[in-house]
Amino acid sequence: MTRGFYFLIAAQFVSGLADNALLIVTIARLHELAAPAWWVPLLKLFFTIAYVVLAPLAGPLADGWRKGRVMLVANGIKAGGALLLIAGLQPLAAFAIVGTGAAIYSPAKYGLVTELVTPRQLVAANGWIEVSTVCSIVLGIVLGGVLVGPVAGSTAGLLPALLGVLALYALAAGLNTRIPDSGARYARASYAVGPLLRHFWRDNLALWRDAPGRTSLAVTTLFWGVGATLQFVVLRWATEELALPLEEAAYLQGVTAVGITAGAWLAGRTVPLRQAPAVLPLGVAMGLLVPGITALSSVHSTWPLLVLVGGCAGFFVVPMNALLQHRGHALLSAGRSIAVQNFNENLSVLLMLGLYAALLAADVPLVLLVWSFGLAVAAAMAVIASAHHRTRRPHRFEAAKAQQENA
């Protein structure tokens, strides 16, 4: 990997760390405002809306300009959302602004990965990018717990925590300036609404009609939708069932990062791009493991299970993500393919979080929620794996027939 690639990893890690620390700080702000419990998942929902709404624009924007510069501007938008939260803006609105910056940031970041490395390096590169992304999510939540732990009671009390988040965004901006230009150039697209939507629709169809693209896109769409929801489920389970305060419940999620890091690192070193679909059964295993947390009654007894769930997640999502990026880059372009991926994955996040908020408002028991989400993941992954197997079978038959004829 080049030096520029590692600056990309560092920049996206620090920026993601700030995003997720800000999530916990904003949850603390909602607690100060005595907001209802179902507002908490709405934070992630408001953050995610921009990924869906801006997807047709974000891809061409990432391809039309130097991607490092796009990341720098997007990082500034996220910092602006944190500043507005300090100024007293309604938390959901402030987090929607942060989401706007993140939606612009993502196609530039992932698109740059495909431009800086060769296809043979893509799984290993995704091992790095996914480890840093997921660790920034989990460790950012832990850091948010550290920041809000010593303070309580007023907006002034949360001011040091918010200033800490702004310092992280400033560091990320400095790292963004060190990301090199990949040299890749694409034709400038029209930014008119009509052409943008038509092109984006065709891009979606191209990926969903491609067999390996469809399998990998279905997996990552399901993974991020359920994963975002389970993040809140585990936080709620830790605070209600284990009687942990918010900051300690946030620390508990750091345990998952150990498994995710190990799984993603191992996948990056051992799974070739052509064998990426072989990891699909791990998605079923991950779903079946999740309900196991309901049988545990102490913090320490949850650690092995959370590490195991994280390991399955890291090992199976990295090859799937690499396969999707490879097919997307081949069929479309770096930025456009990532925009399609973001649209589908974050539409799934919106639907799942909306469903979770509705179930919270309906007072559905927590244990039932955990079992439902875990079994839903296992069942959906089994369906995707079966569909992929049926798709591959005719190709294997034709290859065997051709070999016989040649013999």
Domains of the chain, each with CATH number or no CATH: 3-178+203-397 (1.20.1250.20)
Spatial separation of the C-alpha atoms in residues 44 and 49, rounded to whole Å: 9
**Cβ distance 313 to 263 under 8 Å?**
yes
Position 184 pLDDT exceeds 70: no
Spatial separation of the C-alpha atoms in residues 205 and 203, rounded to whole Å: 5
Mean predicted confidence (pLDDT) in 338-365? 83
**56 Cβ partners below 8 Å, 6+ apart?**
196, 197, 199, 200, 339
Residue type at 395 in one-letter notation: H
pLDDT 10s digits, 189-200: 666 778 888 888
Predicted confidence at residue 165, as pLDDT, reads 92
Q: Which of 305, 262, 309, 304 is nearest to 282 (CA)?
A: 309
Length of the chain: 407
**Cβ distance 225 to 275 under 8 Å?**
no
Tokens of 173: 């901006």
Measured on CA atoms in the order 281, 111, 253, 366, is the torsion positive or negative? Answer: negative
Spatial separation of the C-alpha atoms in residues 307 and 261, rounded to whole Å: 10
Scanning the structure block, which residue is given the tokens 């990018």? 129
Q: Rounded mean pLDDT of the chain? A: 80
> How many alpha carbons fall within 13 Å on the CB side of residue 322?
31
Residue type at 23 in one-letter notation: L
Mean predicted confidence (pLDDT) in 163-191? 81
Whole-model pTM: value is: 0.70
Q: Which of 190, 145, 134, 165 is nearest to 13 (CA)?
A: 134
Position 18 pLDDT exceeds 50: yes
Spatial separation of the C-alpha atoms in residues 310 and 261, rounded to whole Å: 8
Predicted confidence at residue 97, as pLDDT, reads 94
Predicted confidence at residue 98, as pLDDT, reads 93
A 10 A CB-CB count for 38 gives 14
What end-to-end distance do the CA atoms of the chain give, in Å? 42
Band (pLDDT 50/70/90 cuts) for residue 14 is very high
Scanning the structure block, which residue is given the tokens 């930014």? 191
Helix-strand-coil percent breakdown of the chain, rounded to 5?
85, 0, 15
Mean predicted confidence (pLDDT) in 2-14? 86
Predicted confidence at residue 186, as pLDDT, reads 66
Position 344 pLDDT exceeds 50: yes
For the residues of 16-62, what is the DSSP string, one character each?
HHHHHHHHHHHHHHHHHTT--TTHHHHHHHHHHHHHHHSHHHHHHHH
Predicted confidence at residue 153, as pLDDT, reads 47
Q: Cα separations (Å) of 289 from 44, 219, 282, 359, 371?
A: 24, 17, 10, 22, 10
Band (pLDDT 50/70/90 cuts) for residue 171 is very high
Spatial separation of the C-alpha atoms in residues 152 and 395, rounded to whole Å: 61
Scanning the structure block, which residue is given the tokens 């390096």? 121
pLDDT 10s digits, 270-296: 877 777 777 888 888 888 888 887 777
Q: Which of 220, 238, 71 is nearest to 141 (CA)?
A: 238
In terms of phi and psi (left: phi > 0; alpha: psi -120 to 50; beta: otherwise), the region of 239 is alpha
